A and B are shown apart, each in its own frame.
Chain A
Amino acid sequence: MFEYAPAPESRSVVDIAPSYGLFIDGSFEQALEGGVFKTVNPASEEVLAEIAAAGQEDVDRAVAAARRAFGPWSALPGSERAKYLFRIARIIQERSRELAVLESLDNGKPIKESRDVDLPLVAAHFFYYAGWADKLAYAGFGPDPRPLGVAGQVIPWNFPLLMLAWKIAPALATGNTVVLKPAETTPLSALFFADVCRQAELPAGVVNIVTGAGDTGAYLVSHPDVNKVAFTGSTEVGREIARAVAGTGKRLTLELGGKAANIVFDDAPIDQAVEGIVNGIFFNQGHVCCAGSRLLVQESIAEELLASLKRRMATLRVGDPLDKNTDIGAINSAAQLARITELSEIGAGEGAERWSPACELPDRGFWFAPTIFTGVTQAHRIAREEIFGPVLSVLTFRTPAEAIEKANNTPYGLSAGIWSEKGSRILSIADKLRAGVVWANTFNKFDPTSPFGGYKESGYGREGGRHGLEAYLA
């Protein structure tokens, strides 16, 4: 191998202030009780900024601002709302390099992903829903669909800005106003988005950003003046939210965990399947709800496929997220690293065979080498529980029927992958998989036009596409 010299993206393209307040009613404000927390760069543990922690009264203020803004905003013709969304999309594109660097600093994901995946998709979501704003009568939800009111939105740390786009773009297009709480470990891109809203001259109160930890989120989703709750995160928290919302009349969509089966048949395009497996589990360090974390490979080709997979994994470059050649960045937090480490130890303890390529991990920050477990069975915890890290569990199957049975034998049902050169097989298997998204001969492909969401404990409701409008319309 010839080694690539360091190719760092410049940090100077982003200017991070020492501290940030809450974005309420169009301006940045301190939290009333003065609570603050720090956000760190997980690749170095360096503190990036001090962030205001919103208390109950701050959430009240934000919801009140969104309520005041709702009347005028929902009364605007769709074509006028579209103008704001198009403007936001354009500003995001213009500032995409800055936002990509920011996202990599705060989240730990490689710059090549924030640059080539996250940011283009963020802009695409705003463009896409801008296009719907004046066509809602034709979306299939009745001749005159109405917005719900104030949406309380809580998003995770794995794709901070993209999850914000998934939430805010359809809400605004349909005439709702929002209060959004970004994840505690990745608040920065949402706060920069607040600045994008000001640049776009979005009316005050239409978008409010309240930062904080779990309690801030709990205040928001249980707030009596919130009409709609949208949450992306863990199934555990999703259950709490469902309980809090039950009986209140609030509309609710949940995008929760997953344990996707990536199914490789003996007639698969092997080289591309290996790429798909790698992309399925190591993309974004495996911090992906729809990650292909369970590889189901036909027993007749298991040995050959695993040899190819290991050879490919040996070329993965783990390290500085801002280096343009980095494939795998940092784990987002010490807590997440502890969870990945714990489950991996459990996997080894259960007798699965653990393998990682030789790779040097940086001294500071939170890191985990790309790992596969072979000899895993359905009875292993690492085949059942979501690890949410760069850890793949490999199982084998003998027949298509067995592949379907194993793939569906999980409380989750968010996504799945099928690898086969036989079109008829792809279609018949896809029909039988209980997963919201099924990819064929590819994995982790996203597009704003395509609805995304789960079965069973992966949640309910759909985001993206025409379907994504429904959650925000009465």
Chain B
Amino acid sequence: MTVTAATGLSDLRSFLHGLPGVDKVGVEARAAALGTRSVKTSSKAKAIDLAIRMVDLTTLEGADTPGKVRALCAKGRRPDPADPSCPPVAAICVYPAMVPVASAALAGSGVHLASVATAFPSGQAPLEVKLADTRSAVEAGADEIDMVISRGAFLAGDYRKVFDEIVAVKEACGDAHLKVILETGELATYDNVRRASWLAMLAGADFIKTSTGKVAVNATLPITLVMLEAVRDFRERHGRQVGVKPAGGIKNTKDAIKYLVMINETVGDDWLHPDWFRFGASSLLNDLLMQRTKLTTGHYAGPDYFTLD
């Protein structure tokens, strides 16, 4: 399907509701089965380094200060000061107001700078405000924008409004990559997750992202599985690859590896790269570092051997 200005709401609805349904029991069973893969020794080491390179290291607090953001950037550039072979993270993710600080701190590092925009996390603001939010973040140096869709409009069935907003934000992004947060925890059904994924991709999303991390239900394996199936099917039909980012609640290495296994066995190699898959996380990184050290040295180092930023 190609959506144009002439595409009416009912056509869009027919298309989205015509997508194959998702059986809840089945998708949860499949995600759980993938979670039982045993990833050990050399494949674990490989998975940990890949996961570190996929982290969007995030701080999104009202209490964020320039100092806090600078510390986070330093951590992202060199996660393990004791081990120069440890790769940097994919990106630092901050509020728009913190973008100038982060931009300076990341200069020349190759670490991307993502900013949440569009009245994150609720998205409950007029479109002009959302677009201004986006533009100012990009102007200040963000090369990735994490926007939120209007869940209210989506749940009310106003798909065209959701679509048009994404298109407008994408335009406001200029060259910056657009990640579209579906806030899957508020969409209530897997069918809605699939529909919202397609809607975002049709509207030009570079990435689809599960959650803001600010509601009760954040990223889960089955939700991410539905999104991976969506990007796979979308590429097959439209020839364009879209990335996936689970965010919120991914706290340890074991969980992260389950996601990598799921990519591996659902969409394969093409998505096993930080350009196409990210973890929105904060505490995950230190657990990855701890496990990494365990693999290289054979024993667990105490928590104080890893920086708290």
Contacts of A267 in B (CB 8 A): 21
Binds A, one of B152-160, B171-179, B181-189, B260-268: B260-268
Main secondary structure of the interface of A (DSSP, over half): loop
Q: Say yes or no: A275-B30 contact (C-beta < 8 A), given A4-B39, A4-B43.
A: yes
Give the residue of B21, B38, B43 whose beta carbon is less than 8 angstroms from that of A2.
Answer: B43
Known: A1-B268, A2-B47, A5-B42. 20 other contacts (CB 8 A): A1-B269, A2-B260, A2-B264, A3-B43, A4-B38, A4-B40, A5-B39, A5-B40, A5-B43, A7-B40, A267-B21, A268-B20, A271-B20, A271-B22, A272-B26, A275-B29, A276-B26, A421-B21, A441-B25, A442-B25
Closest Cβ–Cβ distance, residue B195 to chain A (whole Å): 14
Chain B interface residues toward A at CB < 8 A = 20-23, 25-27, 29-30, 36-44, 46-47, 50, 229, 260, 264-265, 268-269, 272
Report yes or no: A269 in contact with B26, Cβ–Cβ below 8 A.
yes
Q: What's the Cα separation between A324 and B39 when bound, in Å?
A: 9
Interface residues on A, range: 20 to 34
Do the beta carbons of B20 and A2 come within 8 Å of each other?
Answer: no
Complex CA gap A7/B44 in Å reads 11
Which of A1, A4, A442 is the one whose CB lies under 8 Å from B26?
Answer: A442
**Interchain CB contact under 8 A, A271 and B264:** no
Residue A395 lies at the interface, judged by CB distance under 8 Å to chain B = no
The residue in chain A whose Cβ has the minimal distance to the Cβ of B226 is A271
Q: A325 with B265: in contact, given A271-B22, A271-B27 (CB under 8 Å)?
A: no
Known: A1-B264, A2-B46, A441-B23. A272 touches B30 (CB 8 A): yes
Question: For residue B22, which residues in chain A have a CB less than 8 angstroms away from its CB?
Answer: 269, 271-272
CB contacts (< 8 Å) of B43 on chain A: these are 2-5
Can you name 8 A-B pairs with beta carbons within 8 Å?
A2-B43, A3-B43, A5-B42, A5-B43, A7-B38, A421-B21, A442-B25, A442-B26
> What chain B residues lie within 8 Å of A4 (beta carbons)?
37-40, 43
Of all chain A residues, the one with the shortest Cβ separation from B265 is: A315
- Closest A residue to B45 by CB, please name it: A5
A112 proximal to B (CB < 8 A): yes
Q: For the complex formed, measure the closest distance between the CB of A10 and the CB atoms of chain B, giving whole angstroms.
A: 13
The 7 closest A-B pairs by CB, nearest first: A272-B26, A7-B38, A324-B38, A269-B23, A421-B21, A272-B23, A270-B20
A363 within 8 A of B: no
Question: A441 touches which one: B26, B40, B41, B229 (CB < 8 A)?
Answer: B26
Is B23 within 8 A of A2, CB to CB?
A: no
Q: Does A431 contact B (CB under 8 A)?
A: no
Chain A stretch 257-293: residues in CB contact (< 8 A) with chain B: 267-272, 275-276
Smallest CB separation, A165 vs chain B (Å) = 23
Which B residues lie within 8 Å of A112 (CB)? 36
Which one of B23, B30, B36, B39 lies within 8 Å of A116 (CB-CB)? B36
Instruction: Convert A435-463 into 0s and 1s, putting 1 for each residue whose CB lies closer than 8 angstroms to a CB of B.
Output: 00000011000000000000000000000
Separation of A276 and B43 alpha carbons in the complex (Å): 29
- Complex interface: chain B residues within 8 A of A276 (CB): 26
**Which residue of the partner chain, among B30, B36, B44, contacts A5 with CB atoms under 8 Å?**
B44
Give the Cβ gap from B82 to chain A, nearest Cβ, in Å: 25
Binary CB contact string for chain A from 1 to 37 against chain B (1 if under 8 A, 0 otherwise)? 1111101000000000000000000000000000000
Q: Which of B20, B39, B260, B272 has the most chain A CB atoms closer than 10 A to its own CB?
A: B20
B33 to A: closest C-beta gap in Å: 9
Residues 104-136 of A at the B interface (beta carbon under 8 Å): 112, 116
CB-CB under 8 A from B268, the residues of chain A are: 1
Q: A268 vs B21: C-alpha distance in the bound complex, in angstroms? A: 7
Q: Which residues of A sit under 8 angstroms from B46, Cβ to Cβ?
A: 2
- Set of chain A residues within 8 Å of B21, measured between Cβ atoms: 267, 269, 421
Tell me the minimal C-beta distance from A447 to chain B in angstroms. Answer: 14
When distances are taken between beta carbons in the complex, the residues of chain B under 8 Å from A315 are 265
Nearest B residue to A266 via CB reads B20
Q: List, in ascending order, chain B residues with CB within 8 A of A5's CB.
A: 39-44
- A267 and B20 alpha carbons, distance in the complex (Å): 7
Residues of A within 8 A of B29 (CB): 275
What chain A residues lie within 8 Å of B36 (beta carbons)? 112, 116, 324
Closest partner residue, chain B, to A422 (CB atom): B21
Chain B residues within 8 Å of A421, by CB: 20-21, 23
- In the assembled complex, the CB of B176 is this many whole angstroms from the nearest CB of chain A, namely 30
- A397 → B minimal CB distance (Å): 18
Neighbouring A residues of B269 by C-beta, 8 Å: 1-2
Provide the residues of chain A in CB contact with B38, threshold 8 Å.
4, 7, 324-325
| CB atoms of B26 and A275 under 8 A apart | yes
Asked if residues A271 and B37 are in contact (CB atoms below 8 Å), the reply is no
A222 to B47, CA, bound (A): 59
Q: Would you give the 0/1 interface string for A240-271, flagging 1 where the beta carbon is closer than 8 Å to chain B?
A: 00000000000000000000000000011111
Q: How far is the CA of A1 from the CA of B37 in the complex (A)?
A: 14
A315 and B38 CA atoms in complex are apart in Å by 15
Q: Looking at the assembled complex, report how far the CB atom of B166 sits from the nearest CB atom of chain A, in whole angstroms.
A: 24
Minimal Cβ-Cβ distance residue in A for B272:
A2
Contact A269 B20 (CB under 8 A): yes
Interface centre among B23, B47, B229 (most CB of A within 10 A): B23
Report the separation of the CA atoms of residues A152 and B203 in the bound assembly, to the nearest whole angstrom.
67
Give B21 Cβ to nearest chain A Cβ, in Å. 4
Q: How far is the CA of A324 from the CA of B43 in the complex (A)?
A: 14
Taken together as a complex, chains A and B put the C-alpha atoms of A389 and B244 apart, in Å, by 38
Docked pose: A442 CA to B26 CA in angstroms: 7
